[in-house]
Amino acid sequence: MPPTARAFTDRLRRREAAVGYWVVLDAPVATERIARLGYDYVCVDGQHGLVEYSGILRALTAVDAGGRSVGLVRVGANDPFLIGQALDAGAAGVIVPLVNSAEDAARAVSSATYPPQGTRSYGPMRSGLRVGPVPAEANAAIACLAMIETPEGLEAVEEICAVPGLTGVYVGPSDLCLAVGGAFPGDPAVADVFEAALERIRTAAAAAGVAAGIHTPAGADAAKRLAEGFTFATVSSDLVHLERAAADHLSAARGDR
């Protein structure tokens, strides 16, 4: 059996290290193979990924079939319908983009939580099987993660981390780089300011006792961020790795140096 949502979320609440993978392709057979490798979680990107709801559902089913990871979903917006839909499809948690304030974070938590604590509508189509049909048990099992990626979100990160019920925060490094003045993601001109922003986010999460996560381009970068104090780190994506592997093999076949 795959790891349970509750076991994974409890790990995040204890701020224990976890490594994940990012899926943007609607390719469930590939997602299943990735989910067999041993990543703690596989996140399906419903915001910038190339998947619609049916693709999210197929991907989460494939993650469970892989048997070694839990499935997360980055939803398209801080919207009760999108959050509830992802959870109903069986996600162990949601990553909510563009959280700019404590009020935004509280709204995300409410959308991911059944009454009386929250406002999630009851209809656990697939989550009733994967997470369980009992609202209180689902509330305890689901992770709600707020993305810190805007100037407003960075400025309010301490208040965001203190929101009751929030499992943690997640850095979108591309948008955060732009938020601190970068001309493009990874702009070296703002490297120092960017690293200072990451330190502020890590510190705020640690002070509030919540998890801090970040997206990274490669496994070595994930290891670096975990060593710095991030709780969890996601490695690249299926589309990026497909292109890189194909390019490497082409170069080798042609004898390029």
- The residues that are catalytic are 48
CB 25 within 8 A of CB 43: no
For the chain, the three-class secondary structure string (H helix, E strand, C coil) is CCCCHHHHHHHHHCCCCEEEEEECCCCHHHHHHHCCCCCCEEEEECCCCCCCHHHHHHHHHHHHHHCCCEEEEECCCCCHHHHHHHHHCCCCEEEECCCCCHHHHHHHHHHCCCCCCCCCCCCCCCHHHHCCCCHHHHHHHCEEEEEECCHHHHHCHHHHHCCCCCCEEEECHHHHHHHCCCCCCCCHHHHHHHHHHHHHHHHHHHHHCCEEEEEECCHHHHHHHHHHCCCEEEECCHHHHHHHHHHHHHHHHHCCC
Q: Rounded to whole angstroms, how far apart are CA atoms 166 and 12?
A: 11
Which amino acid makes up residue 48?
Answer: H
Q: Rounded to whole angstroms, how far apart are CA atoms 146 and 12?
A: 13
Give the single-character DSSP code of 68.
Answer: S
